[in-house]
Amino acid sequence: MRAILMCFIVILSIIASGCSQEAAQTKAQQTTQQSSQLNNNKPEDHREKIVVSGEFIFVEGGSIISEHSNFKGETIPSFYIGQYEVTQKEWMDVMGDNPSAFVGEQRPVEMISWYDVIEFCNLKSEKEGLEPYYNIDKSNLDPDNKSEFDPIKWTVTINKDANGYRLPTEAEWEYAASGGQLSKGYLYSGGDDVNEVAWNWRNAGNNYLEGDWNWPAIENNRNQTQLVGSKEPNELQLYDMSGNVREWIWDWYEDEDSESGLQRVVKGGGWMGGENNNEVAFRGRFEASGYGPDQGFRLARNDS
């Protein structure tokens, strides 16, 4: 019943966000390099470190050069970001349960709220002896949260120099998704052919769907999440930044028509969203207390 209800909530959220709308895991199991290795395919002065523990990619800081970004020209400091979306196994190892609608250890975890993710970040940090990035105050309502639909409203602040796990900012996410300093300016993360790089409403089920976005067709096609890393990666060897599940971001959603403090940003689109949702620049939004079967996340860490 919970999954059915949340599916309905997510569908409404996608429509509000502007939706028109077990392959083998060989790629996801690629051997990672030691953090001191250099990627020979990169231009000089560019580096990439893949940290074996946690499978994090080092994103060298610099100015966002992709035309397909809302933050073109902004300078982003170096940071680390998860090579894959957080899996159900990773979630269970920290939280002890699995809330996901589509069960599979190497599928992305879903049916989790923004608050669930914040707690996960701190618990994982503590478990690994890292300094938690977030301060979570559950007893005082966040004065900046203006949503009438969010019953939780924890006050969450940051320890900006902490070495623990966190969510990426929207600018960091777009920088990494567009390939950082190696960006080739693709519309989607990793290419211009959405079906090569993203699990979306057309290709995440039994058959490839044609025509316009149609929920009954998606449901009848048994669309669902897929194994992480089973599509092509982007220039930084990051997988599924377009498609599979939408990814929670730290930032509040803001634009000219909405007040800050109503919803949190989600990026990348998912298995039920239209192709436009998969674009690097697409800005989705969702109640921080909301959760659904296409709502997941990936981790980030400071470069320190």
Least confident of 47-51, 103-107, 162-166, 221-225: 47-51
96 has pLDDT over 50: yes
Q: Is 212 exposed, middle or buried (0-12, 13-18, 19+ CB in 10 A)?
A: exposed
What the block records as the tokens of 140 is 């005082």
302 has pLDDT over 80: yes
Q: Which residue has the higher pLDDT, 128 or 17?
A: 128
- pLDDT tens digits, one per residue of 115-143: 999 999 999 999 999 999 999 999 999 99
Share in percent of the chain as helix, strand, coil (round to 5): 20, 20, 60
Report the distance separating Cα 257 and Cα 286, nearest Å.
15
CATH of the domain at 132: 3.90.1580.10
Residue (of 99, 27, 22, 94) closest to 54 by Cα position:
94
235 has pLDDT over 80: yes
- pLDDT tens digits, one per residue of 66-89: 999 999 999 999 999 999 999 999
pLDDT band at 55 (very low <50, low <70, confident <90, very high): confident
User: Tokens 């192709």 identify what position?
Assistant: 275
Measured in whole angstroms, the distance separating CA 266 from the mean position of its chain's CA atoms is 7
DSSP state of 118: H
Mean pLDDT of the chain: 86
Indicate the number of domains in the chain. 1
Q: Give the number of other CB atoms < 10 A from CB of residue 94.
A: 18
The average pLDDT across 32-60 equals 50
What per-residue confidence (pLDDT) applies to 37? 35
Range 139-167 burial, b when 16+ CB lie within 10 A, else e: eeebeebebeebeebbebeeeeebbbbbb
Which structural domain, as residue segments, surrounds residue 278? 2-302
What the block records as the tokens of 43 is 């231009």
